[in-house]
Structure 1
Amino acid sequence: MRFAITLSDRFKPVLDVFLQAGWQPLKVFCTPVDHRMHHHKLSVAFAEQRKLPLQLSPMRPQDLQELAEMGCETLILGSYNWRIPDWTPYLRYAINFHPSLLPEGRGPYPQVRALLEGRREWGCTCHKVGPEFDSGDILAQERFALGETDTHQALDIKLQLALHRLSHKVAGDFERLWGEAQPQGEGGSYWPLWTDQDRILDFKRGTADLLRQVRAFGDFECAATINNVTIFIHRAEGWVETHGFAPGSLIYSQAEQLLVATGDGMLLVTEWSLYGPDVINGRLRK
């Protein structure tokens, strides 16, 4: 099967499996990346090594027409921030790999909310590309367990392993799965990208909630104001204990460790900085 693929490095396991299955790549589409939410170093290197056309601008109907003229049969979406034009006049198939168990968790980056909500199961979905984002019929899904203390980084690795397994299912039995794909049905949910406000720690809350928030955002970091100074927190520990301090009080500091009172205990901030992520919600920080 000859195919084109939209890609970021998190979804490169999808590409690797389809190559192992004997599929023939014709073109790679990438989007500009922030090097936090998405990376594309490996994806770009793959296109360059194979001497494949690489496009970093939005896909147009003209691009789909050119794919058809190249003999492309399938468009695989691994990661793409732009809307895909109607592909049906040009290609036989178009599929998307989405990092949630659809129809729940439609949207650009549902992983953070999955951790914020304390989900105990997560997964990924391969579905037909429909006119609306993440809405097409489902070919297959892959599920995995989430632990109570799983971090954003752990979820990311579990997701990549699941994408690898899911890709094997799809690449090895593609036409049957396409023909038997099931509609998502009514309901489901759309999860928009988080806001800056979602990343702010409120020390009046319980320690467990604050730790879950820090784990969920991971490299995107949470923000907090301590002694009138805003810091960005990458890692923290904590515990429950009775105390008489006002929530948010700085109790102790040594080197880079900050001990802060919470609503029901203590939060020990072990990794932090005065400078946040370079990109938040797609906007460059000044």
Structure 2
Amino acid sequence: MRVAFFGLPLAALLLHGDGHEIALAAISRADAVGLRRARRLFGSRLLLRPDVDRPELASRVEALAPDLLVSWFWTTRLPMSLVRAARLGGIGVHPSLLPRHRGPDPTYWAIASGDAESGVTAHRIAAEYDTGEILEQERLPIDPGWTAWQLARALDRPSLRVLRRTVGRFARGEEVAGVAQDPALATQAPAPDDEACAICWSWPTERVLRHVRALAPAPGAWTEIEGACVIVLRAAPAASFPEALAPGEAVVEGGVVLVRTGDTAVALLEGEIDGEPASVDELAALVASGASRG
């Protein structure tokens, strides 16, 4: 199978190891694992972050006459001129169970939404992001303690398995029939902006904790305490708390910061203060300093 590849080098290296010919390896990140080996292996066939909208690239891909265009964590939209340059079109693997969580940040939304499971989807590349026919899926239960980063790492192996199986089916000449996505089941997964990363303390505790896990370790769920920007990296339900607190009010009990939520309270266990790592004691000192001034 002659492949025009777009994405992270690890997948291109694995496809090469499976016996496929990588006619072009367009790599999406300059700091990606495996890039040095890919440079040695693919030589002039490797392009680092090329502009996919340039007509010259579409002409180059067309001249290479690939059988299949493959995308694995390419970070921008691939124009259909590139996809159509491949005899069998293009496929990608998305880290969600499409049509749920279409978009660039599905693992954040899976954790923040309280999903019990996630997974990966091999799909046809269509003109609109993550809307093409579903070719194969693999499901994965979500550990209740996972952050979005941990979920993303857990999905890497299934994603590569599904990618290699699907490309292998095309290579064997199988009829790879797709199933159209149901638009009624579609949800969107945009990357949260700074405002969306803020903690809303009127939310119930469970939602606050999901929000923290969904954004840890970066960019991090943030709040303001005593005029400082505090990134909350780890939190837990508070065993007890002063009932008189209003949502968003903080107090130190037993050396730990407790913050009232919409229903109970959470204990802040790890974070950053104005961009610097902060221990439990440092978080407590920040709150205590405000209380002493009051």
2:119·2:138 contact (CA, 8 Å) conserved in 1? yes
Letter in 1 for 2:266: M
1:112-261 residue pairs with structure 2 within 5 A? 112-174=108-170, 179-187=176-184, 188-219=186-217, 220-243=219-242, 244-252=244-252, 259-261=257-259
- Please list every run of 5 or more consecutive structure 1 residues that lacks an aligned counterpart in the other structure: 34-38, 277-286
- Work out whether 1:65 is the aligned partner of 2:59: yes
1:124·1:162 contact (CA, 8 Å) conserved in 2? yes
CA distance in structure 2 between the aligned counterparts of 1:88 and 1:147, rounded to whole angstroms:
36
Change in 2 beyond 3 A, CA 1:120/1:104: same
1:49 aligned partner: 40
- Work out whether 1:91 is the aligned partner of 2:89: no
Change in 2 beyond 3 A, CA 1:211/1:198: same
Q: Residue 18 of structure 1 is aligned with which of 15, 19, 32?
A: 15
Equivalent residues, number = 265
Q: Which deviates more from structure 2 when the two are superposed, residues 204-213 or residues 113-122?
A: 204-213
TM-score by length of 1: 0.82
1:282 aligned partner: none
Q: Residue 77 of structure 1 is aligned with which of 60, 71, 75?
A: 71
TM-score by length of 2: 0.80
- Please list every run of 5 or more consecutive structure 2 residues that lacks an aligned counterpart in the other structure: 277-294
* CA deviation after TM superposition for structure 1 residue 153, in Å: 2.7
* CA deviation after TM superposition for structure 1 residue 57, in Å: 3.0
Change in 2 beyond 3 A, CA 1:127/1:154: same
Q: Residue 109 of structure 1 is aligned with which of 105, 111, 118?
A: 105
CA distance in structure 1 between the aligned counterparts of 2:174 and 2:241, rounded to whole angstroms:
56
CA distance in structure 2 between the aligned counterparts of 1:259 and 1:177, rounded to whole angstroms:
59
CA distance in structure 1 between the aligned counterparts of 2:174 and 2:136, rounded to whole angstroms:
7
Give the secondary-structure state (helix, strand or coil) at the position aligned to 1:173: helix
CA distance in structure 1 between the aligned counterparts of 2:115 and 2:182, rounded to whole angstroms:
22
CA distance in structure 1 between the aligned counterparts of 2:6 and 2:17, rounded to whole angstroms:
18
1:230-282 Cα deviation digits (max 9, x unpaired): 1222223332424133443442399xx85132221232232323129xxxxxx
Cα RMSD between the aligned structures? 2.6
Change in 2 beyond 3 A, CA 1:234/1:131: same
* CA deviation after TM superposition for structure 1 residue 98, in Å: 1.0
Change in 2 beyond 3 A, CA 1:178/1:159: farther
CA distance in structure 2 between the aligned counterparts of 1:252 and 1:48, rounded to whole angstroms:
54
Change in 2 beyond 3 A, CA 1:124/1:40: farther
CA distance in structure 1 between the aligned counterparts of 2:253 and 2:38, rounded to whole angstroms:
49
Change in 2 beyond 3 A, CA 1:247/1:184: closer
